[in-house]
A and B are shown apart, each in its own frame.
Chain A
Amino acid sequence: MVISGLDIFKLLPRTNCGDCGVPTCMAFAMKLAQKKAELRECPFASEEAKAILGAAAESPMQLAKIGEKSVFEAGNETVLFRHEKTFVHQTGIAIQLCSSEEEKELLKKIKEIEDYKIERVGEELYTDLFFLSHDTEDAQQFLKIIDLVKQNSKKGIILDCENQEVLSEAIQLLREDSPAVLLKKEITEADIEQAKVNGLCLIITAKNFDDLTLQAEKAKNAGVKNLFLNLDCDNLGRQLQNNTILRRAALKQNFKPFGFPLFSYIEAENKDDLLAKASFLLCKYCSLIVLPDYDKALLYSLFTLRQNIYTDPQKPIQVEAKVYPIGEPTPESPVFVTTNFSLTYFMVSGEIENSGISAHLLIVDVEGQSVLTAWAAGKFTGEKIAKFVKDIKLEEQIKTRKIIIPGFVAQISGDLEEALPGWEVIVGCQEASDIPSFIKNVELV
């Protein structure tokens, strides 16, 4: 919620004492409004001022946390659309394991999931949590999975168990691990007490908005703020609408009971359905999703989607600046150069690969900007490319002395040839999609 400088000024002492380091209260109020100062810098701020400004400064959506050895955080979202600014926390992915599953199978799965990490554009992608469901009569089986997970993984745990006794035992096993508990029935005082005593994150399940409001308020008023909201829904369209309504309520109406991240256990008919629903909900406001099933292809697709959607639009993803081999290049293979904007790298390397030749792809560090943007900013110049070639001692590794530059920066060819004596500059095509055609028609070495 935004409070204007003028409204803040009305809450200040208005003595212009200067103790905060700013000459007048009005100036200080303006700084506060821009979040360039904090109220505690004023030694004379009233309790009322502290309360009002404190509430206003509170994030419209709380932060939720699960796990200790590997902490998963969600919430504190501030926008409905990533292009407005950025999403803050990427959707958490939890894999379900059931107590009815055979121990050997469970161990295999846990190890597989723990080991499954994919690197993409310099970031390691992996699942975040385990969702452990108790679906047998034997309490020991549930406690056994918990033990197996604890022994073999650092990932946090969500407990799905309706038997209160077994749940309590499970919570004791995890008393140092800050697990989450999925409440399938209306929240009770006992649930709240248990959460406070054991530092639990609670996932509240409700049937409709009024039910959810009541339950969330109950928890919040009792001081439990580490919460996820789970609005029961069996239709993807309704779920999208619910999610949208909940996020709008939190961010635009400042409706406090809905100011918490959203959870979803994804029911699906098969894995194609699961992937489709998970993709959709990951884009639309689910902060934590549970997958009842998985395979590598499904996880890899979801990881990539998550990475794409949750990238800060203001901060382009960069790849490492170095020489990338395409195919099996020799010292006589062609040399291409372009910028370290990840998309540029993917597109150019992909097109060179598609054309079937082997080459060296030089990726220059321009802080992740695209070719034209980097050139306009003076980061992708003949001088800079030449310096990079020298720094990585390229001339010692390869014999080729022709370098192919992106068509859009033909204008740097003179400077580049000057800065790289002995080299000839070839101006390439402008669009990555024309690279195969360019390669077919032009002498590259």
Chain B
Amino acid sequence: MTNFKIPKEKIAGKVTEVVIGATSDQGGTRSHTITIGGSTALPFLFFEGDFPHPPVIAMEVFDKPPAKYPDVLLEYYRDVIGKPGEMAKKCVELYGAELISIRLEGTHPEKGNKSVEEAVEIVKQVLTSVEVPIIISGHSFFEKINEVMKKVCEVTAGENCLINYVENDNYKTIAAACIAYKHTLVAQTPIDVNLAKQLNILLIEMNFPEDKIVMDPLTGTLGYGLEYTYSIIERIRNDCLAGDKLLGFPMLINPGYESFKIKETRVSAQEYPQWGDPELRAAYWETATAMSLLAAGAELLILYHPRSVETVKQKIREMFASGNGE
């Protein structure tokens, strides 16, 4: 009889631990902070590593109701979609969101052109409505978003928000504001390991604190590039554990934002009867995106559909209760 010994990989690196939010004795107004990262092995492999912090789920509210917000989601948010503070409350209290992302896409000149002041008002509204750590999510109209983020960073100084995001072509202004007001930052790159490293290097070169960086490798949703995101995340995580410190940061993904732009979560059963019930389809599509990227290594997931949130949270809890193999 051949004896079997469980094969354990040699690990030479780990994921940094990043704290989001700040309590009153830390200068903020959150009831608690959330820490992500810290893993010393591939996702959920408890037999060969430590996982001090489980992946977490955020939900997103909007400064302006998105023009194309689908009916399947309006079923849940119709009463609050125009009131980000109330929507945040609903997401936290009813649907279990562990963080709230405030998407300030309305400040984009072509999507509402909301002013910096308006954006600040909305952020304050949400901050007073919920006590969970906050993510501030922007867009890629550089001139405007830099203005918005600069002011938001200043106004929320002490809260240690997660500022989402900077990119290779636009990072200095927002990163500087994060340093000045002590926020955490998302470094977003277009599904490319080298570009991801490059952005991290640029940030570190301007003395950005290494324990305040979160990576966003850009999420392709199911059917629209998922496998690219999946493999990039796996490659980044493998490189990190092999010792590459420049890729050793926790990762954020956007199944919500990406899944609800596409046909598959929006069309009616009449248009595409073969695709099944629209409510189920919407939830399943986002859940499948989330679960697969969780398997790859994502630590912070921004989800939209309450059913996906519930399902994915439950699975994370279940897996963290699993202990070792066998």
Contact = CB atoms under 8 A, between A and B. Distances in A.
Interface of A: 81-83, 116, 118, 120, 208-210, 213-214, 217, 235-238, 240-242, 244-245, 248-249, 252-253, 255-258, 271-273, 275-277, 279-280, 282-284, 295-302, 304-305, 307-309, 311, 313, 343, 346-347, 350, 353-354, 437, 440
Interface in B280-326: 280-281, 283-285, 287-288, 291-292, 294-296, 307-308, 310-312, 314-315, 318-326
A245 to B, nearest CB: 6
Given A313-B227, A354-B261, A271 B292 contact: no
11 contacts: A213-B1, A241-B44, A241-B46, A241-B47, A248-B9, A272-B311, A283-B296, A295-B277, A296-B277, A304-B264, A305-B222
A300 B274 contact: yes
B179 interface: no
B326 A242 contact: yes
B283 A272 contact: yes
Contact of B224 (A240, A276, A346): A346
Given A82-B231, A235-B322, A272-B284, A280 B276 contact: no
Contact of B222 (A214, A244, A308, A311): A308
Interface string B54-66: 0000000000000
Contacts of A280: 291-292, 294-295, 315
Contact of A217 (B2, B284, B308, B312): B2
Contacts of A213: 1-4
A255 B315 contact: no
A296 B288 contact: no
Contacts of B45: 240-241, 244
A342 to B, nearest CB: 9
Interface residues of B, number: 64
A241 B324 contact: yes
Contacts of A343: 220, 224-225, 228
A284 B231 CA distance: 13
B238 interface: yes
Contacts of B110: 437, 440
Listed from nearest, the 4 A-B pairs whose CB atoms lie closest are A237-B322, A297-B276, A296-B276, A237-B319
Contacts of B234: 81-83
A307 B223 CA distance: 8
A297 B281 CA distance: 5
A296 B319 contact: no
A240 B44 CA distance: 8
Contact of B226 (A120, A258, A305): A305
